[in-house]
Amino acid sequence: MNDIMRYIIKRLLIGILVVLFVTVLIFGIMQAMPGNPVDLMVDTRVSAEKVEEIKAEWGLDKPPVVQYFYWLGNILRGNFGMSISLKQNVSDLILQRLPYTLLLTGAALVIEYLLAIPLGLLAAVRKNKITDKALTITTVVLWSMPPFWLGVLLMLVFSIHLNILPLSGYSGFASLILPALTLSLPALAQIFRLTRSEVLDVMDEKYVTTAYAKGITDKKILVRHVLRNALIPVTVMFFLSLPWLIGGAVVVENVFAWPGMGQLLWKGIAKQDFVIVQGIVFVITILTVICNIIGDMISGILDPRIRLE
């Protein structure tokens, strides 16, 4: 137990350092962008004195280092600040958008794994045959597709030509299908290749050969011996892929006008609303650190050969 606690504490400390580094990095990038959000907020006819007054009101007249530590102090107290462009509390904005982003990423994860695992198993069993080659080529093509292009293609086929699914926005389950497919299909190739590779490795193990020698049926061997052990890294990847899907949702949400954090982040970048950008990136970073720790712990639980030391 002591070893486990030391490992968790160590990972948490590393995670805190990662979060701090990301906050400094994103703050520096936003500060380095040309112009400032006040210029986008006010008309060109507004006097310079009024502009300076607005900057002072939002704390933009202070040095960047002071702004950063003021913002970080508020974050540690749970205050994400006030949006410059929307005049709303960023915490409230994120809480409003977060469920939609989690719904989209959750649906994408389900689609991704429900398709990738059986297809990877099938490709491994049919190694070097036409089924294996066809599945491999298909997943590589999907992996190479930019999400925004795939999203537009799906909209063109299913929304415009066939008119069977909503084009954009959120209006119930049907409107979730196209964004979830757009987000999951490119990532499906990674899980497919990992499943196929792990299944092939496990099938070469001596205990699998012994199981065949005992006369156990192919189905029982694949389920009880092969797939059970091959899914250990795939299960870990489930947690590690969640932050990447949330990051990829930024593009997908804008293509489909999905009311999630990604669309809000895009608007924040366009309007140089660094309070929104920093808040959303902070949330995504926290989710990434948590998912990495959970993934490592799950791998240790599923595979006794892994030692936390």
At residue 288, the pLDDT reads: 80
Domain count, the chain: 2
Same domain for 197 and 258? yes
The whole-model pTM stands at: 0.77
At residue 3, the pLDDT reads: 64
Same domain for 30 and 160? no
**Which structural domain range is residue 172 located in?**
98-306
Cα separation values, 192 from 139, 177, 224, 263, Å: 8, 21, 20, 29
Q: Which of 55, 90, 125 is the last residue of a domain?
A: 90
Same domain for 116 and 149? yes
Same domain for 115 and 150? yes
Same domain for 78 and 115? no
Same domain for 156 and 263? yes
At residue 308, the pLDDT reads: 47
Q: pLDDT tens string for the chain (309 positions)?
A: 566 677 777 878 888 888 888 888 888 887 777 666 666 666 666 676 776 777 776 667 777 788 888 888 888 887 887 787 777 888 888 888 888 888 888 889 888 888 888 888 888 888 888 988 898 898 888 888 888 888 889 999 998 888 888 888 888 888 899 999 998 888 888 888 888 888 888 777 777 677 767 767 767 777 666 777 777 777 777 777 777 777 777 888 888 888 888 888 888 887 778 788 888 888 888 888 887 777 777 766 666 555 544
Same domain for 122 and 51? no
Please write the tens of the pLDDT for every residue from 278-307.
Answer: 888 888 888 888 877 777 777 666 665 555
* CATH for 121: 1.10.3720.10
Same domain for 184 and 114? yes
Q: Which of 22, 57, 90 is the last residue of a domain?
A: 90
Same domain for 124 and 73? no
Same domain for 262 and 224? yes
Same domain for 77 and 141? no
Helix axis angle, 174-203 relative to 90-125, nearest 10°?
Answer: 40
Within 13 Å and on the Cβ side, how many CA atoms surround 117?
20
Q: Which of 66, 90, 114 is the last residue of a domain?
A: 90
Beta carbons of 245 and 109 less than 8 angstroms apart: yes
Same domain for 131 and 77? no
